[in-house]
Amino acid sequence: MSQAGTVSVAEKLERIRGRIRVAGRRAGRSDEVTVVAATKLVPAERITEAYRAGLRHFGENRVQELEAKRRQLSLPEATWHLIGHLQTNKAQRAAALFNRVDSLDSLRLAEKLAAAAAGLGRRLPVLVEVHLGEEPGKHGVEPDALVELAEKVAALEALALEGLMALPPYLEPPERVRPYFRRLRELAEALAHCGLPGVEMRELSMGMSHDFEIAIEEGATQVRLGTALFGPRPAKK
Ligand SMILES: *Cc1c(COP(=O)(O)O)cnc(C)c1O
């Protein structure tokens, strides 16, 4: 199946699933972990290859990029996650294009998405992205503003708040990321204990290629993998 000298997505996926099982077992977990293939800058043919290998969840960062790719793709059972920052003026297009928004980071965006989803007669599942760490310029709601945002998002009928997402800093070795993953899980637990109507905390989207095993040990239900599945992305200019 693989081209000379390269490992196919199917082979990589099989190895990743093995590592996911081992990490889950280490943490005494028996539930499923969803692999969300992070496909930014990955061409349509390779996305199709991933679909043929059995992947059904795909994450894209930008509305325009997925609009272009979807014209070349026919993946009837795919679930598309928006995992990048969304400007409010693209909420309408995003609600039509994506099955889920995992990077909800403001009330204003939530309101725009809810209006768009209502107009489409849909209920859109969302995760709130939390900003963990001190890095400036990153997106996500600050932890101390999370409960207030969650309460307001939950009141929007056209959105279904299902959990939290985070993009912690890149640290080596990956063990150093553990406290961030733990923090996100604790925030989700605290939020669940608030008992806000309409707030379900069943998804934790955390962990990327270099740290997904740690994230799984800390309770991730979804890991977002790009490099581990598709190899290095072309360098940004
Ligand atoms: C690109 C990206 C990923 C995947 O990153 P890798 O390190 O290549 O696995 C995950 N989450 C988000 C939000 C991304 O933009």
Give pLDDT, residue 236. Answer: 64
Residue-averaged pLDDT of the chain: 95
Give pLDDT, residue 3. Answer: 52
127 contacts: CB under 8 Å, gap ≥ 6: 100, 101, 102, 103, 104, 161, 162, 163, 164, 165, 203, 205
Atom of ligand 1 nearest to the CA of 61: 15
Binding pocket residue ranges, ligand 1, CB within 6 Å: 38, 40, 61, 83-84, 167, 208-209, 224-228
77 class by beta-carbon count within 10 Å (0-12 exposed, 13-18 middle, 19+ buried): exposed
Helix (H, G, I), strand (E, B) or coil at 149: helix
79-129 pLDDT, tens digit per residue, is 999 999 999 999 999 999 999 999 999 999 999 999 999 999 999 999 999
Give pLDDT, residue 237. Answer: 52
Count of all residues that appear for the chain in the document? 237
Q: Which of 13, 35, 224, 236 to mutate to test the pocket of ligand 1 (most atoms within 8 A of CB)?
A: 224
Q: Is the alpha carbon torsion for 51, 54, 57, 59 positive or negative?
A: negative
The domains found in the chain, sorted by start residue, are 3-230 (3.20.20.10)
Q: What's the CA-to-centroid distance between 24 and ligand 1, angstroms?
A: 21
- Band of pLDDT at residue 6, cut at 50, 70 and 90: confident
196-215 pLDDT, tens digit per residue, is 988 989 999 999 999 999 99
Q: Residue 193: what residue type?
A: H
For ligand 1, atom 10, the nearest C-alpha belongs to 224
Q: What's the CA-to-centroid distance between 190 and ligand 1, angstroms?
A: 26
Q: Please compute Rg for the chain using Cα positions.
A: 17
Evaluate whether 102 touches 79 at the Cβ level (below 8 Å).
Answer: no
- Band of pLDDT at residue 4, cut at 50, 70 and 90: low
CB atoms within 10 A of CB 178: 16
Written as six digits, the tokens of 88 are 């409010």
Q: Which of 98, 171, 208, 236 to mutate to test the pocket of ligand 1 (most atoms within 8 A of CB)?
A: 208
pTM for this predicted structure: 0.96
The CA distance from 26 to 31, in Å, is 13
Give pLDDT, residue 137. Answer: 73
Give pLDDT, residue 2. Answer: 47
Of 147, 137, 134, which Cα lies nearest the Cα of 179?
134
The CA distance from 213 to 26, in Å, is 10
% of the chain residues with pLDDT over 90: 90
Mean pLDDT, residues 165-190 taken together: 97
Report whether pLDDT(69) > 60: yes
Q: What's the CA-to-centroid distance between 38 and ligand 1, angstroms?
A: 6
Written as six digits, the tokens of 16 are 């990743």
Q: What's the CA-to-centroid distance between 130 and ligand 1, angstroms?
A: 15
Between 107-119 and 146-154, two packed helices, what is the crossing angle to 10 degrees? 20
The CA distance from 169 to 183, in Å, is 13
For ligand 1, atom 12, the nearest C-alpha belongs to 83
Strand boundaries in 27-99, DSSP class E: 34-38, 57-60, 79-82
Q: What's the CA-to-centroid distance between 50 and ligand 1, angstroms?
A: 16
